[in-house]
Amino acid sequence: MGRWQPDSRGRLAKAALVLYDDQGFDKTTVAEIATQAGVTERTFFRHFPDKREALFGGNQSLEATLTAGIAAAPPGLAPIDAVAAGLEAVAAMLGERRDFARRRRRVIDANPELRERDLVKNAELAAALAAALRDYGVDEATATLAAEAGIGVFKVAMGRWTESDEEKPLADLIRESLAQLKAVTAGA
């Protein structure tokens, strides 16, 4: 490979995840991540503002996939079914990356700072989902309710999917979690 190396961003994210998992988030420096990825520290900071963000670089494409899934849904679906269409698109995107997702979950769970950032990212995802539903033609209150509930479904499904002994595909877990939401909100 020549001096120009493709996909520095992807290699940095991967190197960060491996180092955080092996030696801990707090003990890992940006210099180590850059070395591992074969780039300079300056390149790291061209891609990520800080060490935490190296773990959340995929959120942009997650958000894009979710909102595109809703935009591509057939018109006239019930809002919760539009959410389901978006989550199915996400499952198709993430579905093959279970080992990566498990490792990432382990790293996040081990660090309060990362758990907080994860909460923020999920809240941003909920806001993007609500906006996509409004674009789909759903009124604001319904969009907010369906989006918050939808992110709950996503969280539960991701939580199960990344458990070490779970073998069901993400798409199935999303469908189960959605069915569970319907049962929960139907009440007594």
The CA distances from residue 131 to 75, 88, 90, 114, 115, in Å, are 16, 18, 17, 26, 24
Query: Residue 182 interacts with a second copy (CB under 8 A)?
Result: yes
The least CB distance from residue 171 to a second copy, in Å, is 17
Interface mask toward a second copy for 138-157; x: CB under 8 A = ---xx-xxxxxx-xxx-xx-
Specify the stretch interacting with a second copy by CB under 8 A; choose among 6-14, 48-56, 106-114, 122-130. 122-130
In the region spanning residues 40 to 59, those forming contacts with a second copy, defined by CB under 8 A, are none
Query: Residue 123 interacts with a second copy (CB under 8 A)?
Result: yes
The CA distances from residue 144 to 60, 83, 108, 132, 153, in Å, are 20, 11, 27, 10, 14
Query: Residue 17 interacts with a second copy (CB under 8 A)?
Result: no
b/e per residue 12-45 (b: at least 16 CB within 10 A): bbbbbbbbbbeeebeebebeebbebbebeeebbe
Is the torsion defined by CA of 60, 63, 65, 71 positive or negative? negative
The least CB distance from residue 22 to a second copy, in Å, is 28
* Lookup: tokens for 142: 């319904």
Give one DSSP letter per residue of 115-126, joined into a string.
HHHHHHHHHHHH
Interface mask toward a second copy for 69-98; x: CB under 8 A = --------xxxxx-----------------
The least CB distance from residue 154 to a second copy, in Å, is 9
Q: Who's near 83: CB < 8 A, 6+ residues apart? A: 70, 129, 133, 146, 147, 149, 150, 153
Count of positions on this chain that bind a second copy (CB under 8 A): 36
Specify the stretch interacting with a second copy by CB under 8 A; choose among 22-30, 38-46, 67-75, 178-186. 178-186
* Lookup: tokens for 36: 């591992």
Query: Residue 159 interacts with a second copy (CB under 8 A)?
Result: yes
Q: Point out which residues bind a second copy (CB under 8 A).
A: 77-81, 116, 119-120, 122-124, 127, 141-142, 144-149, 151-153, 155-156, 159-160, 177, 180-182, 184-188
